[in-house]
């Protein structure tokens, strides 16, 4: 049974603390294995990549090919069912529109002292996109990771994906083709991340690496952070639904299960101010679980990590939501803005009764790569900013340097840096 809490109960604070601090992320320590793989790829290059790929993926890169060529990718796209292709293209179009308007504006202004100050944004030269092999490879994730890079103006986008025993996922290839991925290389694991970061003869180095992966991939990205830019650390998916009793329990149950079906470690939490509605949703979840093809996973996640929390008013749920800082927050009420205005921490919000979270996973436009595990307290979903960087600039005239330079001279001397002081003073 999922957790059932009442915020009016005397032991609520402690029980909610436990829920907030429950760790759903595996704490597998693969750091030493990953360090060894990274070091070997760095020193031996393709030889190491080929060897690891043979060993872990049972794919011979030299015999079976390093790249998946353009023709194969086009064929995967052409082989798609028409409806599915139209759906992927609609998704790509909407994601592109949303992300294109994330491009930040440059600044260039002259301030009161006469100093010209500004900042200029430019895309990185090349980005790498990791796509897992097998079950966890989703075409929607390819779109969500690749399109922001293209919208940022990245020159070369390299996708890496393991092809265990040579197996290729055609849906993923079709999505890569739609998103405009430039090259696809059949490598995975920590060795793929290391090859992208340092570059080898066969794999050109990139500047930023994004995309989900297993514990080895995540650890390799963490170890190579600083050699390249990386996206956020990803954990199990989660949803918090805040709903009043006027909702259809069938809809809300479906929303809670849409996250639960991802993985046994996924989390779904309902806040409501209506005890009868809470009961109705709980019963409806049981009914839907019984006929859901992914019911075994969803039941495991719901019973291990799910929760229904009764609050006296929905307003009272908001500080609790902020503590959870959920990846997905659904506000299923008639006036969602009144609640949303007071939410500080959430990856993405789904406003009103007609916005199921799943519409954001695929076609709404905003990114579905979002901070999990309370990381919305300090981080944001993937965006064009992950593929761009800013160069600030300063231009003084003789007069404006005379205005602000003496203060720089004073501070440099106070910090014991006389050459800093001299470089300003000689110009005054």
Among 255, 265, 280, 305, binds its own copies (CB under 8 A): 255
247 CB burial (10 A radius; 0-12, 13-18, 19+): buried
264 binds its own copies (CB under 8 A): no
Query: Which of 30/54 has CB closer to its own copies?
Result: 30
Q: Which of 328, 330, 357, 368 is catalytic?
A: 328
Beta bridge partners of 402: none
CB of 259 to its own copies, least distance (A): 8
Is 284 one of the catalytic residues?
no
CB of 161 to its own copies, least distance (A): 16
Q: How far apart are alpha carbons 328 and 91 in whole angstroms?
A: 19
DSSP 3-state of 50: helix
365 binds its own copies (CB under 8 A): yes
**DSSP label of 266:** -
Is 59 one of the catalytic residues?
no
Query: Which of 65/170 has CB closer to its own copies?
Result: 170
Q: Tell me the angle at which helices 398-414 and 418-425 cross, rounded to the nearest 10 degrees.
A: 160
Binding to its own copies (CB under 8 A) within 143-182 occurs at 171
Query: Which of 5/396 has CB closer to its own copies?
Result: 396
CB of 68 to its own copies, least distance (A): 20
311 binds its own copies (CB under 8 A): no
Strand extents, DSSP E, 273-370? 307-310, 328-332, 348-351
Q: How far apart are alpha carbons 65 and 184 in whole angstroms?
A: 11
Among 75, 115, 215, 304, binds its own copies (CB under 8 A): 115
Binding to its own copies (CB under 8 A) within 118-137 occurs at 119, 122, 124-125
Structure tokens at 266: 């996924």
**Radius of gyration for the alpha carbons in the chain, expressed in angstroms and rounded:** 25
CB 71 within 8 A of CB 177: no
Q: How far apart are alpha carbons 275 and 236 in whole angstroms?
A: 28
**How many residues at the interface with its own copies, by CB under 8 A?**
122
Among 107, 275, 312, 338, binds its own copies (CB under 8 A): 107
* DSSP codes of every residue in 197-209: HH--SSS---SEE
Q: Which of 327, 330, 357, 368 is catalytic?
A: 327
Binding to its own copies (CB under 8 A) within 218-237 occurs at 222, 225-226, 228-229, 232-233
CB 115 within 8 A of CB 400: yes
Segment near its own copies (CB under 8 A); pick from 3-11, 84-92, 178-186, 187-195: 84-92
Using CB under 8 A as the criterion, what x/- string covers residues 316-345 for binding its own copies? --------------------x---x--xxx
CB of 65 to its own copies, least distance (A): 26
Which residues are documented as binding site? 130, 191, 214, 237, 259, 262, 328, 361, 415, 420
Q: Which residues of 252-276 are buried (b: 16+ CB within 10 A; e: fewer)?
A: bbbbbbbbbbbbbbbbbbbbbbbee
**DSSP label of 103:** P
Among 182, 254, 264, 303, binds its own copies (CB under 8 A): 254
Catalytically annotated residues: 327-328
């Amino acid at each position: 049974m999922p957790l059932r809490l009442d915020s009016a109960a005397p032991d609520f604070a402690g029980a909610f603390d436990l829920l907030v601090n429950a760790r759903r992320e595996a704490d597998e320590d693969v750091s030493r294995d990953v360090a060894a793989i990274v070091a070997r790829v760095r020193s031996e290059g393709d030889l190491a990549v080929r060897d690891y790929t043979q060993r872990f993926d049972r794919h011979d890169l030299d015999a079976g090919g390093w790249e998946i060529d353009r023709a194969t990718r086009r064929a995967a796209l052409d082989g798609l069912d028409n409806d599915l292709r139209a759906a992927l293209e609609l998704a790509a179009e909407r994601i592109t529109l949303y992300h294109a308007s994330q491009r930040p504006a440059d600044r260039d202004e002259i301030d009161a002292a006469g100093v010209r100050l500004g900042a200029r944004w430019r895309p990185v030269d090349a980005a790498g996109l990791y796509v897992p092999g097998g079950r966890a490879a989703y075409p929607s994730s390819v779109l969500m990771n690749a399109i922001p890079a293209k919208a940022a103006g990245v020159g070369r986008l390299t996708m890496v994906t393991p092809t265990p025993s040579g197996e290729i996922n055609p849906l993923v290839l079709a999505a890569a083709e739609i998103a405009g991925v430039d090259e696809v290389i059949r490598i995975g694991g920590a060795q793929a991340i290391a090859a992208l970061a340092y570059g080898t003869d066969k794999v050109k180095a990139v500047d930023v690496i994004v995309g989900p992966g297993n514990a080895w991939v995540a650890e390799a990205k963490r170890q190579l952070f600083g050699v390249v830019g990386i996206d956020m650390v990803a954990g199990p998916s989660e949803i918090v639904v805040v709903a009043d009793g006027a909702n259809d329990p069938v809809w809300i149950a479906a929303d809670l299960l849409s996250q639960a079906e991802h993985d046994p470690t996924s989390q779904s939490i309902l806040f409501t101010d209506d005890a009868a509605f809470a009961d109705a949703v709980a019963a409806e979840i049981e009914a839907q679980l019984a006929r859901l093809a992914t019911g075994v996973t969803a039941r495991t996640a719901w019973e291990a990590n799910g929760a229904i929390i009764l609050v006296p008013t929905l307003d009272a749920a908001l500080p609790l939501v902020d503590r959870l800082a959920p990846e997905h927050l659904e506000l299923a009420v008639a006036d969602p803005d009144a609640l949303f205005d007071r939410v500080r921490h959430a990856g993405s919000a789904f406003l009103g009764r007609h916005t199921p979270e799943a519409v954001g996973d695929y076609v709404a436009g905003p990114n579905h790569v979002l901070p999990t595990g309370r990381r919305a307290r300090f981080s944001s979903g993937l965006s064009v900013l992950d593929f761009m960087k800013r160069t600030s600039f300063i231009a003084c005239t003789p007069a404006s340097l005379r205005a602000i330079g003496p203060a720089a001279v004073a501070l440099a001397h106070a910090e014991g840096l006389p050459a800093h002081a001299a470089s300003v003073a000689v110009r005054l």
